[in-house]
Amino acid sequence: MGGIVGRLFREFAMTVTIAVVAPRRVADADADDCSSFLHQPRGCHNLFYRIIESFFTGLINGSAALWISRCGSVFITLMTFLATMGLTVWLFIKHAKGFFPAQDTGVMIANHPDGGGYFVPAHG
């Protein structure tokens, strides 16, 4: 799409892309640092900490056992993930949609509060 509207949507697409990618990169970089800081041995813990820790350990172990029993093996889980990602990429390539509507013609019409208006054709 050409004209001012096309430029606006192109820059909006870049803004959305950066807004999704940048926090993901920061989260990937900071997650390891935060978890290593929180998991440092600090001596004897109180009863509340041990109860909460055992709850989450049981939750993680139960979740892993459930996934392995449902999927049969880690290999099947990995293949399911790769098939899902492949299907996502294929659907994106086959049915790619943009941020702008199909009805947009690249023409902008503005109205002035005093009642006058003007027509700006697309330059592209």
Contact 98, 80 (CB under 8 A): no
In tens digits, the chain (124 residues) has pLDDT values of 567 767 767 777 777 788 888 887 777 777 666 666 666 666 677 888 889 999 999 998 988 887 777 766 678 778 888 999 999 888 888 876 666 666 666 666 666 666 665 555 555 4
pLDDT at 46: 82
Predicted pLDDT at 23: 80
pLDDT of res. 25: 75
Locus of tokens 């697309």: 122
pLDDT of residue 83: 93
For residues 78 and 68, the answer to whether their CB atoms sit within 8 Å is no
For residue 45, the SS3 value is coil
Residue 79 is predicted with a pLDDT of 85
The rounded distance, in Å, linking the Cα atoms of 27 and 34 is 10
Which among 119, 100, 99 is positioned nearest to 111, based on CA atoms? 119
The span from the CA of 83 to the CA of 3, in Å, is 40
Cα–Cα dist 14/11, whole Å: 5
Query: Which of 46-71 are b and which e, b meaning 16 or more Cβ less than 10 Å from the residue's Cβ?
Result: eeeeeeeeeeeeeeeeeeeeeeeeee
